[in-house]
């Protein structure tokens, strides 16, 4: 990871991400305790609704926020979002009604829905070398895995010294430090037509590019497989351990640690792996593994076998998720990155919005073994769909032919119309070869002509 970490701007942004992620982890623990304080035995239902609100905010608001912010300077925008999240977290210790939790959680996640894709789209503008960017994706995956392992331990240590209400203060401090780190660096600003385009076009542009690109449609299908597997882990681990195996809280923590450890191993080794095999191969292998591993989980494994399965599930999910930024960067022009990253953020979380309630409701109605079998089938079908949607022959550069056509770009889009012409201009027939992405000049996907 040394090459990515040698970049001073990226180092500060990674530190900002780590602080933000660990702050969110502390909030998760504190929110559970707050829900129990207000709702008692119904705390699980409260947290379930809060989790659903989080997904609704992510799915519905990420493209909207990205479209609204297209003309805003990135650095002040990200700083403002961090400050808003810190302020909202500081309000949580003072809530007295359950509905107040829902309002604050939705508002907090709305700001996160604006922050995360904007932040993610900034990294490839800073690390333009693909090797460094691959390392950055692995470091990002590691930060999330370390949070899942260390945040509960850090929260436990702090709770031995203070009330859980102070965890919210720790979260706010993390966001304030993140804002300070973002303020200390210069961030590149998106250019061209994606910024100058009308709001309605900016709102739908990311989804249009995403769904018109075969490899991205295939990647979305793989994310449904990941959602099926990770939803079973997140929703039903506690049921498997405490009900099926009749074990205690320590065994629950061991299962989650095993899942995170498997993901971390892949994050550490994937940069070198991707030098030898294509990202498509690695991601499809992850989808196949998810289906097979959940089929094995349907057999009701023992504690030790279950820990091995959970570790392998974490590795399989990371095989799909970690290279996704590479595929996104490859599949859009630089000015369109924020919109496409926002589309990925919204569409992938839509998969979790389906998978979370399915895992919980099916598990309660049919039992865990049957639910694992159903989710294994979902992962298998999703992976098969991905293999079909994402062609094995998928070159970056495609030779293709343009017929004569006239169109108009937004004012200020100097990237697309030639010097000496206005936004409205005509293109002569043309046959050429270049890196092919969906944009105003290439509204439909073409294979090599």
Specify whether the CB–CB gap between 63 and 342 falls below 8 A.
yes
CA triple 269-272-277, angle to 5 deg: 110
Distance from C-alpha of 402 to C-alpha of 344, rounded to nearest angstrom: 29
Distance from C-alpha of 220 to C-alpha of 328, rounded to nearest angstrom: 11
Distance from C-alpha of 66 to C-alpha of 202, rounded to nearest angstrom: 8
3-class DSSP assignment, residue 215: helix
Distance from C-alpha of 149 to C-alpha of 262, rounded to nearest angstrom: 12
Distance from C-alpha of 69 to C-alpha of 79, rounded to nearest angstrom: 13
Specify whether the CB–CB gap between 382 and 287 falls below 8 A.
yes
Beta-sheet pairing, 405-408 with 397-402: unpaired
How many CA atoms does the CB half-sphere of 107 hold within 13 Å?
A: 16
Hey, which CATH number is domain 204-391, 1.20.1250.20, 1.20.20.10, 2.60.40.1170, 3.30.300.30? 1.20.1250.20
Does the structure show a pLDDT above 60 at 445? yes
More confident of the two residues 118 and 81:
81
The answer for residues whose C-beta is within 8 angstroms of residue 193's C-beta and 6 or more apart is 335, 409, 410, 413, 415, 416, 440
Distance from C-alpha of 214 to C-alpha of 390, rounded to nearest angstrom: 5
**Which helix or strand (DSSP H or E) is residue 26 part of?**
helix 8-39
| Residue in this structure with the two tokens 């994706």, named with its chain if needed | 137
Specify whether the CB–CB gap between 323 and 272 falls below 8 A.
no
Does the structure show a pLDDT above 70 at 30? yes
How many CA atoms does the CB half-sphere of 268 hold within 13 Å?
A: 8
Distance from C-alpha of 208 to C-alpha of 342, rounded to nearest angstrom: 12
The answer for residues whose C-beta is within 8 angstroms of residue 336's C-beta and 6 or more apart is 194, 205, 206, 209, 437, 439
Backbone angles phi, psi at 425, to 5 degrees: -155, 165
What pLDDT shows up at residue 433?
Answer: 67
The answer for residues whose C-beta is within 8 angstroms of residue 160's C-beta and 6 or more apart is none
**Residue 224 pLDDT class (50, 70, 90 cuts):** very high
Q: Max alpha carbon distance in the chain (Å)?
A: 75
Distance from C-alpha of 140 to C-alpha of 71, rounded to nearest angstrom: 26
What pLDDT shows up at residue 187?
Answer: 85
Report H helices in 274-410: 279-297, 303-321, 324-330, 337-366, 368-389
Nearest of 188, 167, 223 to residue 10 by alpha carbon:
188
366: its two tokens: 């049919």
More confident of the two residues 8 and 68:
8
More confident of the two residues 182 and 22:
182
Distance from C-alpha of 33 to C-alpha of 15, rounded to nearest angstrom: 28
What pLDDT shows up at residue 420?
Answer: 46
SS3 content of the chain, % helix, strand, coil (to 5): 75, 5, 20
What pLDDT shows up at residue 386?
Answer: 97
What pLDDT shows up at residue 225?
Answer: 97
Per-residue pLDDT tens over the stretch 416-444: 444 445 556 666 667 766 677 877 777 67
Per-residue pLDDT tens over the stretch 355-374: 888 888 888 889 889 999 99
How many CA atoms does the CB half-sphere of 406 hold within 13 Å?
A: 5
CATH architecture of 1-189: Up-down Bundle (1.20)
Specify whether the CB–CB gap between 359 and 379 falls below 8 A.
no
pTM: 0.80
Distance from C-alpha of 174 to C-alpha of 223, rounded to nearest angstrom: 29
The answer for residues whose C-beta is within 8 angstroms of residue 38's C-beta and 6 or more apart is 46, 95, 96, 97, 98, 101
What pLDDT shows up at residue 315?
Answer: 94
Among 30-39, 195-204, 275-284, which stretch is predicted with the lowest mean pLDDT?
A: 195-204
Average confidence (pLDDT) over 300-312: 93
What pLDDT shows up at residue 305?
Answer: 94
Helices 98-126 and 43-68: crossing angle in degrees, nearest 10, is 40
Average confidence (pLDDT) over 56-77: 82
Per-residue pLDDT tens over the stretch 238-289: 888 888 888 887 787 788 888 888 988 898 898 888 888 999 999 999 999 9
Per-residue pLDDT tens over the stretch 121-168: 888 888 888 788 888 878 887 777 676 666 666 766 777 777 778 888
Distance from C-alpha of 436 to C-alpha of 441, rounded to nearest angstrom: 10
Question: What is the length of the chain?
Answer: 449
Distance from C-alpha of 291 to C-alpha of 256, rounded to nearest angstrom: 19
Does the structure show a pLDDT above 90 at 87? yes
Q: Show me where the domains of the chain are located.
A: 1-189, 204-391
Does the structure show a pLDDT above 60 at 413? no
The answer for residues whose C-beta is within 8 angstroms of residue 304's C-beta and 6 or more apart is none
Which residues is 435 bridged to in the sheet? 397
| Residue in this structure with the two tokens 């309630």, named with its chain if needed | 357
């Amino acid at each position: 990871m040394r090459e990515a970490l040698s970049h001073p701007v990226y180092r500060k942004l990674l530190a900002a991400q780590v602080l933000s992620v660990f702050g969110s982890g502390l909030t998760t623990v504190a929110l559970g305790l707050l829900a129990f304080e207000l709702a008692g035995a119904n705390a699980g239902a409260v947290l379930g609704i809060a989790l659903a609100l989080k997904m609704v905010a992510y799915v519905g608001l990420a493209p909207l926020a990205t479209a609204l912010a297209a003309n805003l300077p990135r650095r002040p925008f990200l700083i403002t979002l961090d400050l808003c999240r810190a302020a909202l977290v500081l309000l949580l210790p003072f809530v007295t009604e359950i509905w107040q939790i829902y309002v604050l959680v939705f508002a907090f996640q709305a700001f996160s829905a604006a922050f995360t894709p904007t932040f993610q789209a900034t990294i490839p503008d800073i690390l333009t070398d693909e090797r460094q960017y691959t390392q950055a994706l692995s470091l990002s995956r590691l930060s999330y895995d370390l949070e899942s392992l260390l945040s509960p331990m850090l929260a436990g240590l702090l709770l031995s010294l203070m009330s859980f209400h102070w965890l919210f203060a720790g979260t706010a401090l993390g966001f304030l430090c993140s804002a300070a780190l973002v303020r200390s660096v210069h961030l590149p600003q998106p250019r061209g037509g994606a910024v100058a385009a009308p709001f309605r076009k900016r709102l739908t542009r990311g989804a249009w590019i995403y769904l018109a690109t075969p490899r991205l449609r295939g990647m979305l299908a793989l994310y449904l497989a990941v959602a099926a597997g990770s939803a079973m882990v997140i929703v039903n681990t506690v049921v498997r351990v405490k009900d099926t195996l009749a074990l205690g809280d320590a065994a629950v923590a061991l299962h989650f640690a095993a899942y995170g450890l498997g993901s971390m191993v892949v994050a550490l080794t994937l940069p070198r792996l991707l030098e030898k095999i294509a990202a498509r191969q690695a991601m499809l292998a992850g989808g196949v593994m998810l289906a097979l591993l959940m089929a094995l989980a349907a057999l009701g494994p023992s504690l030790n076998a279950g820990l091995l399965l959970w570790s392998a599930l974490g590795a399989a999910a990371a095989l799909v998720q970690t290279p996704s930024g590479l595929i996104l960067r490859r599949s859009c022009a630089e000015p369109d990155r924020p919109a496409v990253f926002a589309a990925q953020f919204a569409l992938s979380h839509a998969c979790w919005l389906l998978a979370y309630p399915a895992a919980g409701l099916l598990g309660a109605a049919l039992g865990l073994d049957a639910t694992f079998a159903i989710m294994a089938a979902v992962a298998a079908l999703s992976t098969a769909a991905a293999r079909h949607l994402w062609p094995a022959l998928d070159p970056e550069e495609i030779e293709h032919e343009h017929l004569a056509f006239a169109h108009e770009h937004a004012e200020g889009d100097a990237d697309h119309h030639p010097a000496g012409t206005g936004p409205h201009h005509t293109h002569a027939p043309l046959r050429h070869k270049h890196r092919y992405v969906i944009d105003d000049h290439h509204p439909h996907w073409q294979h090599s002509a």
